[in-house]
Structure 1
């Protein structure tokens, strides 16, 4: 079925959960600072300083997440969830998320979606 590959169920082309990647959050901070600077040149130094400070906090968060994930054995990095909202987190940090529902909460999981999830859980020996 189109849009269904490797146990991931993406309904629609857009995953609105991009903020789950710290790298994406860093881009947001930069873009916000740039927009503020474009609107308020007099405050630009403050916006840039705040963005830099927040960027350092995001770098620390990134290191913390990576350290926490590194403590989880690779064969235990599968999570079953009710909603496939973790694609960015999965991509960034190497944790596999399985969900019967796509990124949209507008639809219900079909019987075949649930059956595919059960098969994937058994295949991955997820618990």
Structure 2
């Protein structure tokens, strides 16, 4: 009788461990698939183009060129790794993270939110011109 109870306990613990490991694997896989679906639904190509700083003199306006695989500022590639989730654009340059928030659903305006000492608004030049016609 004691041996049968011990075998049942071992089987129960084995099944519980198997269920726990399976649940963790499913959760990790779900997270991976969610991230893949999110990037497919919010493609980077919707923000590709020249972003021009607003509310400053034209000669002082900064232009950020977002390409498929890079961000270019003043003719220099500052990073080849950036993230866009449909609302936030973020990248890192020299250990400083720059994060922008899209101001509208058509992704034609964005505002710098970090670093927060200056929060300029940028407008996507070609896409904005097409939207006002």
With the length of structure 2 as denominator, give the TM-score of the two structures: 0.28
- The structure with the greater share of residues assigned to helix is 1
Which fold has the larger relative contact order, with Cα–Cα distance below 8 Å and residues 6 or more apart in sequence? 1
- The structure with the greater share of residues assigned to strand is 2
With the length of structure 1 as denominator, give the TM-score of the two structures: 0.29
Structure number with bigger Rg:
2
